[in-house]
Amino acid sequence: MGRPKEHGAQTRAALLTAAAEILHAEGAQAVSVRRVAAVVGTSTRAVYSLFDDKEGLLRELSMDVAETMRRHHEAVPSMDDPIDEILELALAYRAAAREKPQLYDLFFAMVSPRADRADPLFALVYRSFERVLTVVRRAVAAGVFPGRDEFSVGRHLFALVHGLASLELRGVLGDAPTAVNVWRQSVGATLVGLQQPPAPGGRADGAPAAT
Amino acid sequence: MGRPKEHGAQTRAALLTAAAEILHAEGAQAVSVRRVAAVVGTSTRAVYSLFDDKEGLLRELSMDVAETMRRHHEAVPSMDDPIDEILELALAYRAAAREKPQLYDLFFAMVSPRADRADPLFALVYRSFERVLTVVRRAVAAGVFPGRDEFSVGRHLFALVHGLASLELRGVLGDAPTAVNVWRQSVGATLVGLQQPPAPGGRADGAPAAT
DNA sequence: CACAATACCGGGACACTGTTACGTTACGCC
DNA sequence: GGCGTAACGTAACAGTGTCCCGGTATTGTG
């Protein structure tokens, strides 16, 4: 009973690709519900039927970056030296950010401690982090990062790659060959530092010292 | 000749404080020209007379963060050990970001290689970076960072503190005491790594290797 | 086969946004 | 006092996200 849905999977896909094209070509602020609907040739109503609202549409788009992140991260092969593997994973983060520069901010906006674990988008984002944690965990077990745990190292690396990505996407790191060297040197130096025991005065996991 | 200006320095100040209050209380998206004008009790025209447009208003607000950054950075005293001083400067960056959390994104948006050197806002932003560069330069001259130059070290530190600030403002670093430990450990480990000679395969300044 | 119930659709309306053109007003100068 | 001029407030314009209303297509039922 009732009129059957017209806005099905293909309209949904068309809206997403249209939104992605506009976003890729002109940036996030150029994406409007009316415009996306007009490109597809449907009404704004379709957006509100298929996604809840504009945020839902953008949220679906950020699945795109999250998937790009996952792809690059899981494409990194296992290596004998976990240090080499972590460096490659950092460069995978860079590659994903450069592949979807306009979506990168959307991706990082998903990072939140209050994220719902059952949310498929969060789960997808977490897979990339988990890929890194796997190696780090192995390295910690092997005594590569004395006095540190996997989360401490993971957080540090996350902060660094996000900072590097932010700077590069703003053009601060120069052209691509220069930028990749900055990444190599920065991540490399960080990994060297992490292999030394942490300075006293605070626990390595970030919790305050139990005095 | 001509009607005298009514929208002088005090209207300007009132608009700025009103905008800052709204931004502080409800975030950046809540700031609208009409609303700011209504709070002050004047017309939208005043905003366009005193500032060029809304971006000009926000731009003036970002002077606020830039000034906060400068204040915290220049409050850090000279120390015997440049490593200690750099760590304190990193914590100064953190303090400034935490003092104006809603404005932090505006601050970072000002970072661009295409920034106009004559722009007073850019000049203000650059003072904080220059404060760091001064110590780093001294350390490089003393041979503390073998095989690296001041810009390589400065960029690395900038990426790290921006990443840490971004994570902390999103609540990822936990409560304040935990977060400050994360900062100390991360910046500390980074400084340890930078004191080791860089890995071969690329120049430390980020430029591609001259093979 | 007719009909009403139903679930969806498109277009228009609403409350906003930033920005600008317009008519008005208030001053200094002649 | 009249006039030119510059700044004023208002109102309009084009755009945004969102939501409601009249219409419509389908389908179970009489």
Residue B183 falls in which region: left (phi positive, over 0), alpha (psi -120 to 50) or beta? alpha
Q: What is the average per-residue pLDDT within B165-188?
A: 97
What letters, b where the CB count within 10 A reaches 16 and e where it falls short, cover B133-144?
bebbbebbeeeb
pLDDT band at A209 (very low <50, low <70, confident <90, very high): low
Neighbour-count burial of A101, counting CB atoms closer than 10 A to its CB (0-12 exposed, 13-18 middle, 19+ buried): middle
pLDDT of residue B207 exceeding 70: no
Average pLDDT in chain A: 92
- Contact across the interface for B162 and A161, Cβ inside 8 Å: no
d(CA B107, CA B61): 9
User: Any idea what the Cα angle at residue B107 is, between residues B101 and B109, rounded to 5°?
Assistant: 120
Q: Domain coordinates of chain A in residue numbers?
A: 9-51, 58-194
Closest CA relative to residue A24, chosen from A43, A39, A12: A39
B166 touches chain A (CB under 8 A): yes
**Each residue's pLDDT tens digit, A127-151:** 999 999 999 999 999 999 999 999 9
A197 touches chain B (CB under 8 A): no
pLDDT band at A204 (very low <50, low <70, confident <90, very high): very low
Average pLDDT in chain B: 92
Nearest neighbour of A181 by CB, restricted to B108, B166, B202: B202
d(CA B47, CA B36): 9
pLDDT at res. B204: 47
- Contact across the interface for B185 and A164, Cβ inside 8 Å: no
pLDDT of residue A188 exceeding 70: yes
Q: What is the average per-residue pLDDT within B60-81?
A: 96
**Each residue's pLDDT tens digit, B130-146:** 999 999 999 999 999 99
Which residue's C-alpha is at the least distance from the C1' of D6?
Answer: B2
Percent of chain B having pLDDT more than 70? Answer: 92
The answer as to CATH 1.10.357.10 being correct for domain B61-194 is yes
Matching fold, domains A9-51 and A58-194: no
Question: Could you please report the per-residue DSSP string of A125-185?
Answer: HHHHHHHHHHHHHHHHHTTSSTT--HHHHHHHHHHHHHHHHHHHHTTTT-SHHHHHHHHHH
**Each residue's pLDDT tens digit, B147-164:** 999 999 999 999 999 999
User: Residue A153 carries which side chain, given as an amino acid letter?
Assistant: V
pLDDT of residue A202 exceeding 60: no
Cα first-last separation, chain A: 69
Closest CA relative to residue A58, chosen from A41, A33, A38: A33
pLDDT at res. A56: 94
Percent of chain A having pLDDT more than 90? Answer: 82
Lowest mean pLDDT among A68-77, A110-119, A150-159, B11-20: A110-119
State which CATH number among 1.20.120.450, 1.10.357.10, 3.90.1150.10, 3.40.50.300 fits the domain covering A58-194. 1.10.357.10
pLDDT band at B30 (very low <50, low <70, confident <90, very high): very high
pLDDT of residue B174 exceeding 50: yes
**Each residue's pLDDT tens digit, B78-87:** 999 999 999 9
Could you give the 3-state DSSP secondary structure of residue B148?
A: coil
Architecture in CATH for domain A9-51: Orthogonal Bundle (1.10)
